[in-house]
């Protein structure tokens, strides 16, 4: 049986805190891993700014944002490094407090694409981490170890969540996930999730780093200020119409 474990390439576990910024933590987790793999250096120091990424891709702590918005911003504009704009778990306007000439050491995606075939997901995970999304049930909050699976109708869904997928194991029948709820959660921040559970493998995203950031900063977009109630309504219709329009905002 086949398996893959890319944890040695993945950056340290982060903690998004009391802010629905999982989209950028999940994306940065895969992105930083892709850069280390490309450079063939698991010790490479690379830490992208979740605050810059989140605020400038239209996110707000109460409502999160969509995967399209996050991945398109990373591809079209780029993100500065953490030192240039440190994360603090609260809302900011795009560019607020960001260092001058942020683009000099910043990173940009060359491209991204959706992956919906499970065999293709496994093939890609042999060499590169993927960005993933899932629906979080109440029981997931209390996960400690082993292969997670939800408890069905007795286990209410709390919201959508974005994570980094960094491996799989056919013997376990599970995906290896890097979460962003700190090292006190799960297996020091990681978990195994059963194939097909919690919509984990309905869609994943392959990202290709090393796009070129222009020498001048782009126009500043306005951050999204959609309220929780509107987001939940949007989630319902997005699920009916097209999955990638769903907002992901879950925080622990």
Q: Known catalytic residues?
A: 22, 161, 179
Q: How many residues does the chain have?
A: 252
Residue 86: name the closest of 60, 62, 53 by CA: 53
**Contact indicator for 98, 217 with CB cutoff of 8 Å:** no
The beta strand positions in the chain, using DSSP E, are: 3-5, 65-66, 111-115, 130-137, 147-148, 157-169, 174-178, 190-194, 204-208, 247-248
In DSSP terms, 111 is beta-bridged to 208
- The Cα–Cα gap between 63 and 68 comes to 15
- The Cα–Cα gap between 201 and 208 comes to 20
What are residue 95's phi and psi, to 5 degrees?
Answer: 90, -10
- The Cα–Cα gap between 126 and 104 comes to 31
Residue corresponding to tokens 């890609």: 124
Centre a 10 Å sphere on the Cβ of residue 63 and count the other Cβ atoms it contains: 21
CA–CA–CA angle 57, 240, 155 (5° rounding): 90
């Amino acid at each position: 049986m086949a398996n893959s474990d890319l944890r040695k390439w993945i950056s340290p576990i982060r903690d998004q805190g009391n802010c629905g910024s999982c989209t950028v933590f999940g994306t940065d987790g895969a992105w930083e891993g892709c850069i280390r793999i490309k450079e063939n250096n698991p010790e490479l120091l690379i830490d992208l700014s979740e605050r810059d990424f989140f605020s400038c891709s239209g996110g707000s702590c109460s409502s999160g944002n969509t995967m399209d918005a996050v991945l398109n911003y990373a591809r079209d504009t780029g993100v500065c490094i953490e030192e240039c704009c440190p994360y603090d778990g609260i809302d900011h306007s795009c560019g607020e407090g960001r260092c001058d000439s942020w683009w000099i050491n910043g990173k940009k995606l060359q491209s991204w694409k959706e992956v919906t075939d499970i065999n293709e997901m496994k093939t890609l995970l042999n060499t590169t981490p993927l960005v993933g999304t899932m629906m979080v049930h109440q029981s997931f909050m209390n996960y400690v170890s082993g292969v997670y699976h939800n408890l069905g109708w007795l286990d209410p869904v709390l919201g959508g969540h974005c994570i980094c997928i960094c491996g799989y194991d056919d013997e376990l029948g599970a995906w290896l996930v890097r979460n962003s709820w700190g090292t006190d959660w799960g297996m020091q921040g990681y978990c195994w999730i059963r194939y097909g559970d919690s919509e984990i493998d309905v869609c994943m995203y392959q990202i290709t780093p090393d796009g070129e950031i222009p020498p001048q900063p782009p126009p500043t977009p306005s951050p999204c200020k959609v309220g929780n109630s509107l987001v939940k309504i949007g989630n319902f219709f997005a699920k009916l119409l097209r999955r990638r329009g769903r907002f992901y905002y879950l925080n622990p």
